[in-house]
Structure 1
């Protein structure tokens, strides 16, 4: 069982050469839509009254 050279193994520091050369202009602009928003304080109070707890 021969180990690969040190340069081919995972190190503590990630290789960021790909990140620094990444072309941001290739990315598309998207709109973020929240599918399951957290309940508001009002909706929680309303639910408490309806359940009788």
Structure 2
């Protein structure tokens, strides 16, 4: 058994059959201002 994966299937894979998708951030980071507001609201 070799350490290298079988590449025959990968080489004949047709990328044109794939759908185009848009990536979206699911959990964007807070801006500095929003973070400060949330922190101050939590303290009071």
TM class by shorter chain equals 0.5 to 0.7
Deviation at 1:24, TM superposition (A): 0.7
Runs of 5+ unmatched residues, structure 2: none
Deviation at 1:28, TM superposition (A): 0.7
4+ runs deviating over 4 angstroms? none
What is the match of residue 35 of structure 1? Answer: 26
Query: What TM-score results when the alignment is normalised by the length of structure 2?
Result: 0.64
Distance 1:36 1:50 in 2: 21
What is the match of residue 3 of structure 1? Answer: none
Distance 2:32 2:10 in 1: 41
Q: Which has the larger radius of gyration?
A: 1
Provide the aligned length of Structure 1 versus Structure 2.
44
